[in-house]
A and B are shown apart, each in its own frame.
Chain A
Amino acid sequence: AQTVTQSQPEMSVQEAETVTLSCTYDTSENNYYLFWYKQPPSRQMILVIRQEAYKQQNATENRFSVNFQKAAKSFSLKISDSQLGDTAMYFCAFMKYTGANSKLTFGKGITLSVRP
C-alpha cells in the first residue's frame, strides 16, 4: 500500500516571500502521479499542480513549482511571492497509475499561514 507523509503540520511565511512544503511517499510502483491540492478556509479542494513520475522535468504553474526527486521519493511544493490568498491547508496526494482504478492517497496536510 502507498503512504504519503507530510511531516510539518504548520508553517508560516511573510507575504511576498518564498516557502517550501515537504512531502514524501512510499511506493514500489514505477508509474504514478503526484498532486498538490489546496484547501482554503472555504474547504473547497483545489488542484494546484500535478507531476507525472515518468517526467524528469519539474512541473510549474505560475508561482507554484515542485521539486520532484523520484529516487528519494520526495515531492515538495515551492510557493513564490506568497500572497494572503495562499493561506490554506495543502495536501500532497499520490495516485498509482492503473488506468481504470486511479485512487488518490492523501497525506494529512499542512496548514500554511501567510502573514501580511
Chain B
Amino acid sequence: DGGITQSPKYLFRKEGQNVTLSCEQNLNHDAMYWYRQDPGQGLRLIYYSQIVNDFQKGDIAEGYSVSREKKESFPLTVTSAQKNPTAFYLCASSFRDGPYEQYFGPGTRLTVT
C-alpha cells in the first residue's frame, strides 16, 4: 500500500538531547514537508524540500534541521536549541508539479522533559 510512515508514534527525550523523527513515503512524491502542531493552533511549517539534496526553511525552522538524501525519506532532527520541542509533528508529501494537495503521515508525539 502506498503511503507515508512516521516513526515512532510516541517519543520521549530528556532536555538537552537531540532527537531525530523519521518520515518515509512510497507515493513517488517529489516534495516533502514537516509541520508542528500545538494545542489550539493550526499546523506551522518547519522545513520543506522540493527535490533531493535541497530544502528550505519554513516559518519556524529555528532549533530544527533536516536532510533529503533520498526521494523517499525526509528525517527531522529536533536539536537542543529548540526551546519548546514538546509537540505533535506531522510529515507530508506532494507532487512538485501538481496536483498540489499534500498527504500526511500519522504523526509523532514528542515529549521532552
Contact = CB atoms under 8 A, between A and B. Distances in A.
Interface in B58-107: 58, 88, 90, 92, 94, 96-97, 100-104, 106-107
Interface residues of B, number: 25
Interface string A92-116: 0001010111111011110000000
Nearest to A46: B104
B53 interface: no
Consensus secondary structure, chain B interface: strand
A102 B100 contact: yes
Given A108-B41, A108-B42, A103 B101 contact: no
Consensus secondary structure, chain A interface: loop
Interface of B: 31, 33, 40-45, 48, 50, 56, 58, 88, 90, 92, 94, 96-97, 100-104, 106-107
A112 to B, nearest CB: 15
Interface of A: 4, 33, 35, 37, 42-47, 50, 91, 95, 97, 99-104, 106-109
A107 B42 contact: yes
A84 B107 CA distance: 23
Contact of B100 (A33, A45, A91, A108): A33
Nearest to B97: A99
B43 A43 contact: no
A102 B31 contact: yes
Nearest to B45: A103
A108 B43 CA distance: 8
Given A43-B106, A45-B90, A100-B50, A95 B42 contact: no
Contacts of B43: 45, 91, 104, 106
B42 A102 contact: no
A96 B92 CA distance: 17
